[in-house]
Every structure is written in C-alpha cells, then in structure tokens.
Amino acid sequence: MDARVEVPRYEMHEEVEVDPSKTALIVVDMQNDFVKKGGTLVVPDAEATIPKIKGLLALARGSGMKVIFTQDTHNEGDPEWEIWPEHVREDSWGWQIVDELRPLEDELVIRKVRYDAFYGTHLDHFLRTWNMDTLILCGTVANICVHYTAASAALRWFKVTIPKDATSALEPFDLESSLRQTSFLFNGKITQSRAITVDV
C-alpha cells in the first residue's frame, strides 16, 4: 500500500555558536563504498556533501576544535552483511575514507562495527578525556550511523548539532525523519553548515 506521511516540523537554527575548546566535529563514515561511484552501497547525495564537510573541517581545524572520523569496518562473516550488501571490507578501497576528507595525522579515527560509533569503541573515553560537551555530527547515513551516534551521544548528555547540508541519506524522507527525531527527542540543533560559528 502506498501512503504519504508528512514529517512534523522541526526547528532550523539560523545560527549555532560553539565553544571550540569543548566541541568535537565527528565526520561519520565518509568512505568510498558509501560515497564514490563504484562503491558497493552508494548513498545518492553523499558525494555532494563533501564541500560542506570540507568547510566544517576548515572551521574546526582553524579554531582548535577536536576532529574525529568514524570508519565503518567489516570482515568476512559479519552479520551486518546479512542486512546490507557487502560493504567497507577492512583494508579495501571501499573501506577507505574519501581522499577529499583525508584525516590529518593527529586526528582520531574510530573504527566501528555497528551503526553507533560509541558501541564497542573508545569514543566516549576520548571525549571525556578532552572535556568535550558538544558534538557536531555530519556525514552518512543520516538515519543510520549518524542518527544512532547522535542518539547515543544525547543519552550521554552531550549536546548535539547536525548540519543538514553536510549529511546525506538513501531517501529524502529518511533524512527528514531522522533530523526531526534528533530535534524532538534529543533536543539537538539542526542547522546549515554555514550557520555554525565559533565563540572566540
């Protein structure tokens, strides 16, 4: 049955000012398999977000903000390949973070095996050690790895901001519904990448 569902409105913040000493930018799963032609599980709008994410990286690096990349990582027999086609096999081309967003040597890369970047990783440890209280999340996929990482962060009482134009999903509805849930359930701030400024 074909049905139309309207996503309830959520607030779009015209400006979000963050303290760079307490904020981390998390770039979620911008890997070749999800972003580039020839990838095994390409998200249609992911490549178009690269310039916006590059802008956020420039802001973060220029202001001293912590930068973290997540890298979805799977190997033979991974049960996630029963849900999705094979993707991001460790050490393959598809597993690598796209060249345009390559992490710097001193930036943290979190290899994760599930949607949630906190699950089974040291992410929370580093954020607490660095005294972070605010996370800016971008990347792909909006309603999967971005969403579950945002949810897990909010449940740990981190403040969450998601720049819509730097985040992609398999379907427009998935993006909108995820952003609405982040705003409604987690008190997260939804904005555009250009609207994020640093408090200096």
Residue 114 lies in a domain: yes
Q: What is the residue range of 150's domain?
A: 18-198
What is the pLDDT at residue 6? 85
| H helices present in 87-171, as ranges | 123-129, 147-155
Is position 109 within any domain?
A: yes
**The CATH number of the domain where 65 resides is what?**
3.40.50.850
Residue 1 has pLDDT above 80, yes or no: no
One-letter amino acid for residue 192 of the chain: Q
**36-65-123-170 Cα dihedral, nearest 10 degrees:** -30
Instruction: Report pLDDT digits (tens) over 14-32.
Output: 999 999 999 999 999 999 9
Q: What is the pLDDT of residue 85?
A: 87
Task: Quote the pLDDT of residue 199.
Answer: 86
Run of H or E including 69: strand 66-72
Q: Is residue 1 part of a domain?
A: no
The number of distinct structural domains making up the chain is: 1
**Does residue 5 form part of some domain?**
no
Q: What is the pLDDT of residues 50-69, one digit of tens each?
A: 999 999 999 999 999 999 99
Domain membership flag for residue 60: yes
Query: 3-state DSSP call for residue 22?
Result: helix
Q: Is residue 194 part of a domain?
A: yes
